[in-house]
Structure 1
Amino acid sequence: MMRKYSTYILLFGFPLFGCQTKVVEKPTYEQNWMLLEKDNKALAFDADIHLSDAELTLDKKLFELRKQFLNETEKQKIPLYNSSFNELKPLIEDSKLYKVFQTMPKGGLLHTHSGGVTDMKWVIAAARKYKECYVYDQKDNDKFIVGQLAFFENGKVPQGFVSLDKKLLSDPHFEKELLERLTLKRDKLCTYTNYWIEFEKRFQRINLLLPYRPFFKEYYLKGFQDLAKDKVQHVEIRYVFEELYDFQHGKYPVKKSITDLQDIVKEVQKSDPQFSLKLIYSSFKFLDPQSIEKQLETAFELKKEFPDMISGFDLVADEAAGHSISFFEKNWTALDGLSKKYGVEMPLFLHAGESNSVFNKNVFDTSLLNNRRIGHGLNLIYFPKTMELIKKQNKLVEVSPISNQILGYVSDLRNHPARVLLSNGVQCSINSDDPSVYGYEGLSYDFWVAFVYWELDVKALKKLVFNSITYSSMNDNEKKVAVAHLNKQWNDFIQHTNQSLN
Structure 2
Amino acid sequence: MKHGSPILRDRTPDPSKRETMLHQEASRQTGGRVQLTGAEQRLDTHLHKLKEQEMAAAQFPPAIHFFKARRLIHRSPIFSLLQMMPKGAALHIHSSSLVDWLVKNITYRPHCYICFTWGRSVRFVFSTWDCLYWQLLKTLGANMADPTDICIFGCFSSLMQNLRLSNDDPNTTYPSQDAVWERFEMAFVAIAGLVIYAPVFKDFLYKGLEQLFHDNITYLELRTGLSRVQIRAGSNHDKAWSLRTYQEGTHQFVAEHPGFLGAQLIISVPGVLSVSDVKAAVKEAIQMQKDFPELVAGFDLVIILLRGKTNHYVHSLLKITAELGVTLPYLFHAGETDHEGTEVDESILDALLFNTTRIGNGCDNGYTLAHHPLAKELSRKDNVAVEVCPISNQVLKLVSDLRNHPAALLMSEGHLMLVSSDDPSLFGNTGLSYDFYGVFVGIGGIGTVQL
1:195 shift after superposition: 1.6
Residue of 255, 267, 285 corresponding to 1:281: 267
TM-score by length of 1: 0.78
SS of 2:297's partner is strand
8 Å Cα contact 1:339-1:346 kept in structure 2: no
Residue of 39, 43, 46 corresponding to 1:54: 39
Residue of 115, 120, 133 corresponding to 2:96: 115
Counterparts in 2 of 1:315 and 1:47: CA distance versus 1, 3 Å: same
Percent same amino acid among aligned pairs?
28
Counterparts in 2 of 1:205 and 1:26: CA distance versus 1, 3 Å: closer
In structure 2, what is the equivalent of residue 192 of structure 1?
175
- Is residue 2:282 matched to residue 1:300? no
Counterparts in 2 of 1:215 and 1:188: CA distance versus 1, 3 Å: closer
Q: 2: CA distance between counterparts of 1:273 and 1:35?
A: 42
Structure 1 residues 97-149: Cα deviation after superposition (integer angstroms, max 9, x where no partner)? 11111111000001111101111xx2012222322111122422xxxx62222
Aligned AA (1:310): V
Q: Give structure 1 stretches of 5+ with no counterpart.
A: 1-24, 463-502
Counterparts in 2 of 1:150 and 1:235: CA distance versus 1, 3 Å: same
1:357 shift after superposition: 2.0
- Is residue 2:58 matched to residue 1:83? no
Residue of 326, 331, 337 corresponding to 1:349: 331
- Is residue 2:151 matched to residue 1:178? no
Aligned AA (1:91): L
Q: 2: CA distance between counterparts of 1:160 and 1:404?
A: 37
- Is residue 2:438 matched to residue 1:449? yes
8 Å Cα contact 2:314-2:354 kept in structure 1: no
8 Å Cα contact 2:166-2:428 kept in structure 1: yes
1:333 shift after superposition: 2.8
Counterparts in 2 of 1:221 and 1:43: CA distance versus 1, 3 Å: same
SS of 1:58's partner is helix
SS of 1:110's partner is strand
- Is residue 2:105 matched to residue 1:126? yes
Aligned AA (1:174): I
Q: 2: CA distance between counterparts of 1:386 and 1:407?
A: 24
SS of 1:411's partner is coil
1:137-176 → structure 2 map (5 Å cutoff): 137-140=116-119, 146-151=121-126, 159-170=132-143, 173-174=149-150
1:57 shift after superposition: 0.3
Q: CA RMSD in A?
A: 2.7
Aligned AA (1:61): H
SS of 2:279's partner is helix
Counterparts in 2 of 1:225 and 1:147: CA distance versus 1, 3 Å: same
Structure 1 residues 325-348: Cα deviation after superposition (integer angstroms, max 9, x where no partner)? 4451232232333542xxx41021
In structure 1, what is the equivalent of residue 393 of structure 2?
404
Counterparts in 2 of 1:324 and 1:166: CA distance versus 1, 3 Å: farther
SS of 1:451's partner is helix
Q: 1: CA distance between counterparts of 2:417 and 2:60?
A: 28
Aligned AA (2:339): S
Q: 2: CA distance between counterparts of 1:188 and 1:257?
A: 36
SS of 1:440's partner is coil
Residue of 298, 311, 318 corresponding to 1:312: 298
Q: 2: CA distance between counterparts of 1:46 and 1:210?
A: 39
- Is residue 2:118 matched to residue 1:135? no
Could you say which structure has the larger radius of gyration?
Answer: 1
1:32 shift after superposition: 4.0
Structure 1 residues 275-314: Cα deviation after superposition (integer angstroms, max 9, x where no partner)? 3111111100111111101111110111111111111111
8 Å Cα contact 1:196-1:407 kept in structure 2: yes
In structure 1, what is the equivalent of residue 82 of structure 2?
101
8 Å Cα contact 1:213-1:245 kept in structure 2: yes
Q: 2: CA distance between counterparts of 1:370 and 1:412?
A: 32
Counterparts in 2 of 1:283 and 1:26: CA distance versus 1, 3 Å: closer
Residue of 21, 27, 36 corresponding to 1:36: 21
8 Å Cα contact 2:32-2:449 kept in structure 1: no
1:170 shift after superposition: 4.8
In structure 1, what is the equivalent of residue 412 of structure 2?
423
SS of 1:282's partner is strand
Counterparts in 2 of 1:138 and 1:264: CA distance versus 1, 3 Å: same
8 Å Cα contact 1:49-1:459 kept in structure 2: no
Residue of 353, 358, 368 corresponding to 1:379: 368
Counterparts in 2 of 1:426 and 1:324: CA distance versus 1, 3 Å: farther
Structure 1 residues 65-104: Cα deviation after superposition (integer angstroms, max 9, x where no partner)? 2233344x32xxx364542001010111122111111111
Aligned AA (1:347): P
8 Å Cα contact 1:83-1:188 kept in structure 2: no
Counterparts in 2 of 1:368 and 1:45: CA distance versus 1, 3 Å: farther
Q: 1: CA distance between counterparts of 2:392 and 2:290?
A: 33
Q: 1: CA distance between counterparts of 2:258 and 2:322?
A: 40
Q: 1: CA distance between counterparts of 2:110 and 2:196?
A: 16
Q: 1: CA distance between counterparts of 2:352 and 2:20?
A: 32
User: How many residues matched?
Assistant: 422
1:223 shift after superposition: 0.5
1:456 shift after superposition: 5.7
Q: 1: CA distance between counterparts of 2:127 and 2:367?
A: 41
Aligned AA (2:349): F
Counterparts in 2 of 1:385 and 1:457: CA distance versus 1, 3 Å: same
In structure 1, what is the equivalent of residue 224 of structure 2?
239
8 Å Cα contact 1:58-1:458 kept in structure 2: no
SS of 2:266's partner is strand
1:322 shift after superposition: 5.3
Counterparts in 2 of 1:146 and 1:347: CA distance versus 1, 3 Å: same
1:196 shift after superposition: 1.4
1:192 shift after superposition: 1.0
Q: 2: CA distance between counterparts of 1:346 and 1:179?
A: 38
TM-score by length of 2: 0.86
Q: 2: CA distance between counterparts of 1:248 and 1:320?
A: 32
Q: 2: CA distance between counterparts of 1:310 and 1:54?
A: 39
